């Protein structure tokens, strides 16, 4: 048997939340910010920093990869969306089937224009049902500064799960470090032992 809690949001109990505490609920939509790198980059660009210096800072802090293109192009987020949709909505979808647009084309000017409209730009991951089929997307989206996604700062992330019986349930992971991933692995191991 394999468990997979750390595949999305480090050790935050997203899959366990649904499996253990939302039993009998049907998940109808998933939305979130699932990539720390892009969230950090967009936030730092909004502060007026240069792209190269933001990347260098993230690499120095250890959470931006030597080649950040998988994050910037949205592939990491697409893989996480696919995992969520497959487990929570039985989608049978691959990352390549996610409608994906990364943040590489976002300019400082677009960020300033969004701010002038009282919005911020975030890389939003979404999965929903359209015409009876589960579909997913990863796209830069303007969100109001008063919304939950706008409050997700730095390397934090969140996911909102909409269900038929419990409505929308949201969970936020604040500034994760390696300990959170380690915790997720530990809990998966404990759950595996409990299944034996």
Are the beta carbons of 31 and 157 closer than 8 angstroms? no
Q: 């697409």: which residue's tokens? A: 78
| Beta strands across the sheet bearing 119-130 | 99-100, 133-144, 119-130, 27-33, 157-163, 167-173
What are the structure tokens assigned to 196, written together?
Answer: 């034996």
Name the catalytic one among 23, 49, 59, 80.
80
What are the structure tokens assigned to 176, written together?
Answer: 């994760």
Rounded distance between C-alpha atoms, residue 127 and residue 134, angstroms = 7
Rounded distance between C-alpha atoms, residue 189 and residue 130, angstroms = 36
* DSSP conformation letters of 55-118: HHHHHHHT-S-SSTHHHHTTHHHHHHHHHHHHHHH-----GGGSEE--STT--HHHHHHHHHTT
Has 80 been annotated as catalytic?
yes
Q: Which residues are catalytic?
A: 80
């Amino acid at each position: 048997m394999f468990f997979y809690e750390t595949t999305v949001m480090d050790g935050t109990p997203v899959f366990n939340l649904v499996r253990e505490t939302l039993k009998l609920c049907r998940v109808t939509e998933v939305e979130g910010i699932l990539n720390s790198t892009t969230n950090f980059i967009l936030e730092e660009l909004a502060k007026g920093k240069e792209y190269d210096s933001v990347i260098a800072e993230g690499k120095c802090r250890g959470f931006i990869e030597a080649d950040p293109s998988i994050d910037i192009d949205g592939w990491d987020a697409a893989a996480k969306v696919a995992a969520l949709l497959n487990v929570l909505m039985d989608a049978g979808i691959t990352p390549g089937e996610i409608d994906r647009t990364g943040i590489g084309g976002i300019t400082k000017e677009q960020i300033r224009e969004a701010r002038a409209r009282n919005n911020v730009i975030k890389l939003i991951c979404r999965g929903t049902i359209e015409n009876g089929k589960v579909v997913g997307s990863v796209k830069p989206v303007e969100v109001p500064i008063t919304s939950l996604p706008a409050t997700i700062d730095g390397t934090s992330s969140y996911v909102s799960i909409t269900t038929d019986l419990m409505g929308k349930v949201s969970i936020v992971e604040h500034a994760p470090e390696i300990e959170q991933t380690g915790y997720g692995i530990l809990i998966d191991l404990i759950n595996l032992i409990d299944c034996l």
